[in-house]
Every structure is written in C-alpha cells, then in structure tokens.
Structure 1
C-alpha cells in the first residue's frame, strides 16, 4: 500500500495551534529560523550531536503519513536520537530535508510556533528526485540561552 493524501488533508493539523502575534525582534525571528535550518542539516549530515543541540530535553516528535498512518509521539531527546539513529542506519541514499515557506505563526519571548513545508529529496544510484512532500509544525522554547525545538509534528503527503 502506498498512501497518498487528498488535497488539503493537513489543514486540521496546521490549525490545531492557532496563529498568534509574533512579538519578537527580527534578530530573534532569524534565530528561530536558524534552529530549524540546523535541524534539517543535522538530519542530512547524520550529525546527532547537532540534532541534540536543537532539541529540548523533553522534546516530542510525532508523524502522520498522508493522514492515514501515525508514528509516535517519540518523547524525550534521548528517544528521538535513538529513533533517528535507527532511521539513519537504514538509509542507503543521501537525503536533503528542504524546508520551504517557513512562517512564524506566533511567538513571544519564551515560545514560538512555526510552520514549514518539507520537500524531501534523495540522491541514490546517480539520480536524484523528490521522494516525499509534507509539512512541519514546530513549537520552540527558549532554553539554555537559545531557541530549541520542544515539539515537532511532521505530516507527509505520501509514504516513501
């Protein structure tokens, strides 16, 4: 079975955390964006130390594939790192997590919510292509002198 999503299937996930005011200076907004980019690069470079640095200790990670198959939540930074290590060990290609259309949906001095689209590409066997699309919802907290991902939800439009 190869699940695929109906148009607009993710809308209910995107609206569960309603938009709010973004009460942050541009430099703080950029700092949040950088955490998201560091997250994506850490996955692509299989850099678990970097991934660890962008997650809160009690972070949660949940997924749904085409609105049909749920995974997680994986709870706690250590559990997330184990989960990612297992996924990395199974990969035989170079993946790129392209985060596009990143938008802050609400932020204050201590918390932020961001949405982003995912375009997951793969380069294997001399060819490259898009293997999945989807969206993220990130909830970040100010912790340890910077921003960290406290909750991550990934909804993919297709299985791969």
Structure 2
C-alpha cells in the first residue's frame, strides 16, 4: 500500500497524540489511539519480552498502572518516523526519547524504538493495531 502525504501526516499525528495523551494522563485520548484488538509488547535493555498485552483493555490497564506509579512529569518525544508496507497494515518505525522532570530537575530517562502497525477503522480513522517498544536501558 503506497501511502500519500495526507495519510502519513494522519499517522504522524496518531503517534504524537498517543504520546501527548500519556504525558498529560488523558486516558480517554490514549485509549482512542488503540484499536479494540490492539496488542503491545516491550523489551527493556535486551531483557525478556513483556507481553503481549492483548486488547485495548489490557493495554490501558498497563498504561494506567504505570501512570499511577510515576511521581515525575514525562515527555515522550517521537522522532525519525518512517513507513513500511506490511500484510497486517502499515508499519511505522520511530525513535523514542523519554524525558522526565521531578523536583525541578529534568533528565533523560531512556531512549528506544517504537515498531508500530497501524490500520484504519471503518470510519477511516487510524489506530495503533500493534506496538512493540524496545527500550535501550531500564530507568
């Protein structure tokens, strides 16, 4: 599937919206970024694979639990986005830079890679269908 500029911008906005929603703790917005049957896996510093977390409900339980444990202010910065064709949907690769501020001090928590598969729903909106997060180090 050859993506046009408009579709690429919509997908770019989806990735930005998911990061913004997590950082602003807007669970409704974050939930809307994932397809109902989405899945998520994660690996930290080459360790064991966490997941899969199957379905939007399981992903949101993971995300809300993570938020509840955080005392800092997070900023997920997504960059170096590029697209590949995939049989499951559109594959999107990007870098993550995770920054945190706590007690008036800002620091880099980790970097990593997002490997996402996105697809349109019946209404034509893009959603994350599958997300794998590869973090470079634990934080």
TM-score range, shorter chain: over 0.9
For residues 79 and 126 of structure 1, the distance between their equivalents in structure 2, rounded to whole angstroms, comes to 33
For residues 72 and 56 of structure 1, the distance between their equivalents in structure 2, rounded to whole angstroms, comes to 17
TM-score, structure 2 as length reference: 0.94
Match of 2:56 in 1: 77
Match of 1:11 in 2: none
Gaps of 5+ in 2: none
Higher alpha-carbon Rg: 1
1:1-160 → structure 2 map (5 Å cutoff): 23-106=2-85, 111-143=89-121, 144-160=123-139
Deviation at 1:72, TM superposition (A): 0.9
Gaps of 5+ in 1: 1-21
Pairwise CA RMSD: 1.5
Deviation at 1:78, TM superposition (A): 0.7
> Secondary structure of 2:7's partner?
helix
For residues 76 and 135 of structure 2, the distance between their equivalents in structure 1, rounded to whole angstroms, comes to 12
Deviation at 1:107, TM superposition (A): 6.6
| Range 86-95 or range 22-31, more displaced | 22-31
> Secondary structure of 1:67's partner?
coil
